[in-house]
Copies of this chain bind each other. A is one copy, B any other.
């Protein structure tokens, strides 16, 4: 130790600290802050894939300690949705986080997050209302609540969220701004597999045959963006996309829209700051994706 030529990084190459209570989380943050470190929070529902790992890597560029929360949040699942079936993969999650050098995992129980007598709710309108808001009533209230709680439990300098859940990212930005939560919200571009499929824990639901349909979704969205960039009209791009979706073999489509990227309002005449968003259903999976124009 003394006089050695090299020093190991403070945290890396050891498994992350596993914190199961808010008290332990806050103690960890206090110690990390006392060492002068900035804190990044990466909220997840576990079943980690390389999209999550990209959030961890981005967090490491912005902070000295990256805390990854793993919590399948019942408040954001509706009746009949896949709360019970949602993939859990604790051991492999810890392996991945160890390899990535995350400093801590916050893995609270449901009763730690929502103890007996809990009654609070947080919601926003506007950006939370269309698209997913219409198809998944209450979903964004559940997201707003758990993210508000986790931000206030952790008080990170920065919190990172994937652009794959584009509307969720705008909802979280809205909640943080409206409630004056003192944190930087960082969106991270979607990570895709070699066929362009947006990584998602729910991709585990896909059979090989369904996978070959699923990979059509990103290609259709990118092709729509290409047409718009080439000067095509919103109407033509949208019509073309609908035709392609119909031919691709999905079971059904929840929506395919070209919206203002920030407000998610209709964008009938705008040509800048647009986002193409889609949700389709395929077997047990509901796939969402989005691309910028």
Assuming A120-B122, A120-B123, A148-B179, what are 4 further A-B pairs, CB within 8 angstroms?
A119-B128, A121-B123, A122-B179, A152-B152
**A152, closest chain B residue (CB):** B180
Q: Is A149 an interface residue (CB 8 A)?
A: yes
> How many subunits of this chain does the assembly comprise?
2
Q: Is A174 an interface residue (CB 8 A)?
A: yes
**A145, closest chain B residue (CB):** B179
**A129, closest chain B residue (CB):** B119
Cβ contact within 8 Å between B120 and A178: yes
Cβ contact within 8 Å between B122 and A122: yes
Q: Which residues of B contact A128 (CB under 8 A)?
A: 119
Report the separation of the CA atoms of residues A31 and B136 in the bound assembly, to the nearest whole angstrom: 44
Report the separation of the CA atoms of residues A127 and B118 in the bound assembly, to the nearest whole angstrom: 11
Q: Which residues of B contact A127 (CB under 8 A)?
A: 119
Q: Which chain A residues (115-147) contact chain B, with CB distance < 8 Å?
A: 117-128
The residue from B123, B125, B155 contacting A182, defined by CB atoms under 8 A apart: B155
**A263, closest chain B residue (CB):** B117
Cβ contact within 8 Å between A152 and B121: no
Q: Is A153 an interface residue (CB 8 A)?
A: yes
Question: A164-191 interface mask toward B, CB cutoff 8 Å, 1 = contact, 0 = none?
Answer: 0000000000110011111000000000
